[in-house]
Structure 1
Amino acid sequence: MRIPLTQSSELNAAPCTVLPQDILTFVTALNETATSEEVWQLFVDLAKRKGITLVDYVIATDYQNWQKVQFIRTTMDSSWIDFANTDTRVRRKSTFRLHSINRLEPVLTGYEYHDLMHNMDEERAFLLKQTAEKYGGRSGIAIPMRMTDPGQAAHMMLAADLPRAVFEELMAQHGWVLHACALYAHIRHMELFKTEFMERNKLTEKQREIVESVGAGMTDKEISARLGVSISTVRQRISALQSKTGCRNRADLAALAMRIGLVPDPMTRAHQNELTVFLSTGDNQQGTEYARNDT
């Protein structure tokens, strides 16, 4: 049984009571999710309760190349894959490609809003109509999201088979809750998605040690001494890792080690001093790195 946030005994501060209960309940449930799949299902269930029948979650690794998509979760059936693969316009003309990779404000989408959209042409209008007829996405809202790494973006599209006026009434009633919960879900999903990398790619504990060692900047000789194996074995394992993960070189493996949390991010780890902060005060003085000495 989940403990409501307002009654949790684990909180170290006064419980929040000023936000909508739907948001508080959702965030409390997010705390208990253990997999990215659980996060997705939790959000889809919330959306359905609010009248949303179509949820589409897209993450792109390189939005300069619209074909490079890292991850998609969707409530649409598998025929959508054939639809997208047979006509490359589906992704090239998508709201994600045309709006979400460049902007942060949510936008209304779907065929009901085609007359209000920029970059509208016959091709895009046809695709919006197809999506509405095939998958019930007559009216929708696209919520852009950002990743922690430059060059990446994501968005959540929420849609329903509703006329414009009815959809806007639904958004007036539930839009803020859905928007806030989508952002919370995205953060939690990516947090868990990274931790699941090893399981997803079937990496062994020995391979994890190699990734961590490369991420720490160790040479083959140093890794060999650390793991008690020959240098040739280290090189074989690195080669196998590159095949499994798609990493092209040691730099890719080092970046991977940081992404999945095996080594600290150099942007946030301590510098010369054990404890440092970047201090910017309320009197508009320029921020400087400040080392606190507790001794």
Structure 2
Amino acid sequence: MTFVPVTGAYPFARPRRLRQNGWIRDLVQEHTLLASDLIWPIFVHDRDIARDPIGSLKGIDRLSISETVKEAKAARDLGIKALALFPHIDERKRFSDGRAALDRQGIIPLACRAIKAAVPDIGLIVDVALDPYTDHGHDGLLINDKIDNDATIDALIEQAAVQYEAGADIIAPSDMMDGRIGAIRQALEARGHKDALIMSYAAKFASAFYGPYRDAIGVKALKGDKKTYQMNSANTDEALREVALDIQEGADMVMVKPGLPYLDIVWRVADTFKVPTFAYQVSGEYAMIKAASDQGLLDHERAVLESLTAFKRAGASGILTYFAKDVAEKLNK
């Protein structure tokens, strides 16, 4: 968008005229946040309890499949169009090869089937990565203490197929392996899944803001770090190259993660490629707002709405946020 400077000088030009009353502020507002802009991340667990509070994410629970179905109905009724599902599995099912990710009777395929049976009109986004399923906490296969890119892709292809065939609508690879979008797209096409949507975590940074998420999915110890595959937080041009590659390989939409610290990336991606661009308000962002609000340092509702509107202002088509349900309830009022 080209900015055209407005000529004029005080007192004939008074920008405050457009701010003097609530109705005029609303009338000239440039960006509006809607419930349909929100995607609600939900953690699904395989324990025999309905809800399991996550200590590092105040107000967020891991849910059983039956509870997830209830929340899917509530989300649909609030105008939320899609859920993003993430697993928490028993530690005894975690192995170095992440084999549980390929189980057609695993927690995510079971959840997809149950939700689609009860709420067929809500979109389901599923994470394609091995970190919730491995005993070392990495998104890929660790061989001789290094991530093996190509061996990981073979596992991701099967994981994506299992999830799509269980009823997922959007396959969302978050692993940051080179070439995985093209490989998954080719494999899905070969299986006749030509309508499968792919949302690539195309610009996912090695960030300090993921800590509570790792707690939520049960990654207790990460062997090393993820800097050999997640991006350097200092880079922006590299993000554009990553996005360009994933679009070329068959991604229908792209993701920037984390969110607020990377709004410049959201803007550059949306403005450069003109494709649906999503952003993830990650667990650390949620936890910071919650903590500051609990101490009376922020007005919780205003801070949440302001942060989410910032994503829209930056050009995001939609936002993954743990605040989704609460915000949708407020917007509907």
Q: TM-score range by the shorter chain?
A: under 0.3
Structure with higher Rg: it is: 1
**TM-score, normalised with respect to structure 2:** 0.23
Higher helix proportion, which one? 1
